Structure 1
Amino acid sequence: MKITRIETIPFAIPYRKALRFASGEVGTAEHVLVRVHTEDGITGTAEAPPRPFTYGETQASIIAVIDTVFAPQILGESALRREAIWARLTRTIGNPTAKAALDMALWDVIGQSLGVSVTELLGGFTDRMRVAHMVGFAPATEMVAEAEKLRAEYGITAFKVKVGRRPYRDDVEATRALREALGEDVELYIDGNRGWTAAESARALRELEDVGLTFAEELCPADDVLARRWLAEHSSIPLYADESATRPAEVTRELLAGAAHGVSVKTARTGFTQSQRIVHQCEGLGVDVVMGNQIDGQIGSLCSAAFGAAFQTTARRPAELSNFLDMTDDLLAEPLRIENGTVRVRPAVGLGIEIDDNKLKHYRQDT
């Protein structure tokens, strides 16, 4: 089980349309395929999606930190020593998606070596996840058309609405239009990506009180400490922390400060090891969680589904697993499927990731 080699392969796959939101825009999935090889011939696989406007990482920086900093620290180590490996990775600050990809690839190795799925290793609560889809900035009519299409084709009945525009009334109009078009049976929640001030958030939430939102996510910046606390105290809609709660310590800070009522868990930035800690932390405090999305491709979405299905807490509500549908292609040999609004965990050992070598050859950026 000793780690003998680590691969970092940059690849780029265009989106059919860019996903636009308050903190940025993504038109091409410029990700990094991460592979961990062991002396037993097992290869663990994961995907690192850089988001420079959120974490400061780029495709090049992820490759550089794994190849020059992380790999030398863990080559020759047993893949079973996850805690020792994680301790070495965390000696380097930042670089969350690089660390997360390595961690998930290690869990894939362990699952394969034991002949069980990662979902079973983590807890094995269920074999499927309900799906929520993120709807990006666009005119209200286009946002409604996108949601109606996804409901009709894939049975998706939960939608995250990207907000944070100025004036905020554009977002209020779009959210209200989605509710009117989709009806009361569809779950809606909003995500501001830090785009509003607390005052703007409060006004928007008041205007949306009758829309029936499940919650509102990361409406204003984490640095607005007192303003976030004030907003949480005065909001009738639960507020969830996302970019402000990327590590267990940040989760503690946001919850105990009274700045959030729930937490978004993203395996793309906390892997399986740290995500598991965050879930247990939230369970202990009686706080709800949602499985978020880093605009992942199918590999990342598969990883998120595998983790979310492992725990009752994460399987309780729909997970953001569908934005790969906007990509023109992907690397998986067997595409991830959404049927009747759900994604099934693959009945395979490890994560069940099999890469199409021809597609990888076509989309990789280093040859």
Structure 2
Amino acid sequence: MKITQVEAIPFAIPYRKPLRFASGEVHVAEHVLVRVHTDDGIVGVAEAPPRPFTYGETQAGIVAAIDTIFAAQVVGLSLLDRETVHTRLARTVGNPTAKSAIDMAIWDALGRTLDVSVTELLGGYTDRMRVSHMLGFDEPAAMVAEAERMRDTHGITTFKVKVGRRPVSLDTAVVRALREGLGEGIDLYVDGNRGWTAAESAHAMKEMADLGLLFAEELCPADDVLGRRWLVSQLDVPFIADESAVTPADVTREILGGSATAVSIKTARTGFTRSQRTHHLAEGLGLEVVMGNQIDGQLGSLCTVAFGAAYELTSRRPGELSNFLDMSDDLLTEPLCIADGELTVRPGAGLGAEIDPEKLQRYRLDR
């Protein structure tokens, strides 16, 4: 059960259409496949999706960090030495996605070694989650059409709507069009990616007060400390801290400071080990939790549902598990399937993920 090698393989798969939001846009999934090898011949896998406009990581930076810093920190350790792995990786500031992919690949390798699923190792509460689909910037009619397609094809009835444009009426009109076009059987919430000021956010939420929104997420920057506290204090829906609350310490600061009332957990940036810490903290504080999406591919989405299904709290709300549908292809031998609005945990040991060697050869960038 000792780790003998850590691989970081860059690959690129185009999206069928770009996903646009307040902090940037994505045209190609330039991700990194991480593989952890053991002396028993086991290989654990995970996906690292860099988001340079949010965390400062790039694909090349993730590969370099793993190859030149992190691999040497974990080679020789046992798969059971997860706290030692966490401590050693934490010595280096930043690089959340690189660290998280190593962590999740170790959990996958451990599950494969023990012939137990990662979800069972983590908690085993259920084997599925309801799905929320993320809608990027577009014209109202196009966003309504995409939501209708997701509802009619995959049974998805919860949608996260990207907002944060100026004037705010561009986005409030979209949300209203979605509510009117899809009816009352649909749940909606909004994510500003820090695009508005606190005053703009307050104005927008008043315009949408009659639309029955579930949440508001990162409408304005957390660095606007007083403005954000002022905004959150007047909202009647939970305010989700996302990119402002990556670590448990961030969550504590944002919640106790009155800058948020709920939290998004993204396994792509906190792995399984640190996501556990955030989950337990949220449970102790009585917070709403949403399993978020870092525009993951299928492997990343599999990691998210594996964690989210493991606990009662994280499985209460639909998880953001569907953006892989916007990719033109993927690396898994057996594609994920969203049916009746749900994504199930893949059966089998570990994450239950198998990489198609031909697809990896086609899309990898290091050969």
Decide: shared fold, TM above 0.5: yes
- Whether 2:157 is the aligned partner of 1:157: answer yes
Q: What are the equivalent positions in structure 2 for 1:344-355 lying under 5 Å apart?
A: 344-355=344-355
Aligned to 1:96: 96
TM-score, scaled to structure 1: 0.99
Aligned to 2:356: 356
Q: Is the 8 A contact 1:209 1:237 kept in 2?
A: no
* CA distances 1:35-58 after superposition (whole Å, capped 9, x unpaired): 000001010000000000000000
1:185 is displaced (CA, Å) by 1.2
Aligned to 1:176: 176
1:346 is displaced (CA, Å) by 1.0
Amino acid of the structure 1 residue aligned with 2:307 = F
Amino acid of the structure 1 residue aligned with 2:205 = L
Amino acid of the structure 1 residue aligned with 2:61 = S
Aligned to 1:66: 66
TM-score, scaled to structure 2: 0.99
Secondary structure of 1:53's aligned partner: helix
User: C-alpha separation between the residues in 1 aligned to 2:74 and 2:172?
Assistant: 49
User: C-alpha separation between the residues in 2 aligned to 1:359 and 1:13?
Assistant: 10
* CA distances 1:176-212 after superposition (whole Å, capped 9, x unpaired): 0000011111110000000000000000000100000
User: C-alpha separation between the residues in 1 aligned to 2:233 and 2:177?
Assistant: 28
- Whether 2:343 is the aligned partner of 1:343: answer yes
* CA distances 1:271-293 after superposition (whole Å, capped 9, x unpaired): 00011110110000011100000
Amino acid of the structure 2 residue aligned with 1:220 = C
User: C-alpha separation between the residues in 1 aligned to 2:185 and 2:151?
Assistant: 12
User: C-alpha separation between the residues in 2 aligned to 1:165 and 1:111?
Assistant: 44
User: C-alpha separation between the residues in 1 aligned to 2:266 and 2:362?
Assistant: 28
Q: Is the 8 A contact 1:132 1:318 kept in 2?
A: yes
- Whether 2:200 is the aligned partner of 1:200: answer yes
Q: Is the 8 A contact 2:222 2:259 kept in 1?
A: no
User: C-alpha separation between the residues in 2 aligned to 1:308 and 1:27?
Assistant: 27
Aligned to 1:124: 124
Q: Is the 8 A contact 2:14 2:28 kept in 1?
A: yes
- My pick for the range that moved more, 79-88 or 229-238, is 229-238
User: C-alpha separation between the residues in 1 aligned to 2:145 and 2:81?
Assistant: 48
Secondary structure of 1:124's aligned partner: coil
Q: Is the 8 A contact 2:36 2:105 kept in 1?
A: yes
Aligned to 2:327: 327
Specify every segment of 5 or more residues in structure 1 that has no aligned partner in the other structure, as ranges. Answer: none
Q: What are the equivalent positions in structure 2 for 1:12-23 lying under 5 Å apart?
A: 12-23=12-23
* CA distances 1:283-337 after superposition (whole Å, capped 9, x unpaired): 0001110000000000000000000000000000100000100100000000011
User: C-alpha separation between the residues in 2 aligned to 1:322 and 1:59?
Assistant: 22
Amino acid of the structure 2 residue aligned with 1:359 = K
User: C-alpha separation between the residues in 2 aligned to 1:158 and 1:43?
Assistant: 35
Q: What are the equivalent positions in structure 2 for 1:32-47 lying under 5 Å apart?
A: 32-47=32-47
User: C-alpha separation between the residues in 2 aligned to 1:237 and 1:207?
Assistant: 14
Q: Is the 8 A contact 1:15 1:328 kept in 2?
A: yes
Amino acid of the structure 2 residue aligned with 1:327 = M
1:237 is displaced (CA, Å) by 2.3
User: C-alpha separation between the residues in 2 aligned to 1:245 and 1:182?
Assistant: 32
Query: How large is the RMSD of aligned CA atoms in angstroms?
Result: 0.5
User: C-alpha separation between the residues in 2 aligned to 1:105 and 1:18?
Assistant: 28
Amino acid of the structure 2 residue aligned with 1:128 = R
Identity %: 68
Q: Is the 8 A contact 2:301 2:321 kept in 1?
A: yes
Q: Is the 8 A contact 1:154 1:341 kept in 2?
A: yes
